[in-house]
A = this chain, B = another copy of it.
Amino acid sequence: MAGSRVTLWLATGNRHKLEEARAALEPLGVAVEPLEAEKLEIQSESLEEIALFAARIAYASNPRPAVAVEDAGLFVKALNGFPGPYSSYTYKTLGVEGLLKLLEGVEDRRACFRSAVALVGPGYEKVFTGEACGFIAESPKGSQGFGFDPVFIPEGEERSFAEMSLEEKNRYSHRAKALRAAAEWLIERAEGLRGGAARRV
A positions within 8 Å CB-CB of B: 40-43, 45, 50, 79-86, 89-90, 92-94, 98, 101-102, 104
Contact = CB atoms under 8 A, between A and B. Distances in A.
B93 A80 contact: yes
Contacts of A80: 92-94
Nearest to A81: B93
Number of copies: 2
B86 A98 contact: no
Contacts of A86: 43, 86, 89-90
Nearest to A80: B93
A82 to B, nearest CB: 4
Contact of A82 (B43, B45, B84, B98): B98
Contacts of A42: 40-43
A91 to B, nearest CB: 10
A42 to B, nearest CB: 6
Given A42-B40, A42-B42, A43-B43, A94 B90 contact: no
Q: Chain B CB within 10 Å — which of A40, A41, A89, A104 has the most?
A: A89
Nearest to A40: B42
A101 B45 CA distance: 23
Contact of A90 (B45, B50, B82, B92): B82
A45 B88 CA distance: 12
Q: Which 5 A-B pairs have the closest CB atoms?
A: A82-B93, A41-B43, A80-B93, A86-B86, A82-B94
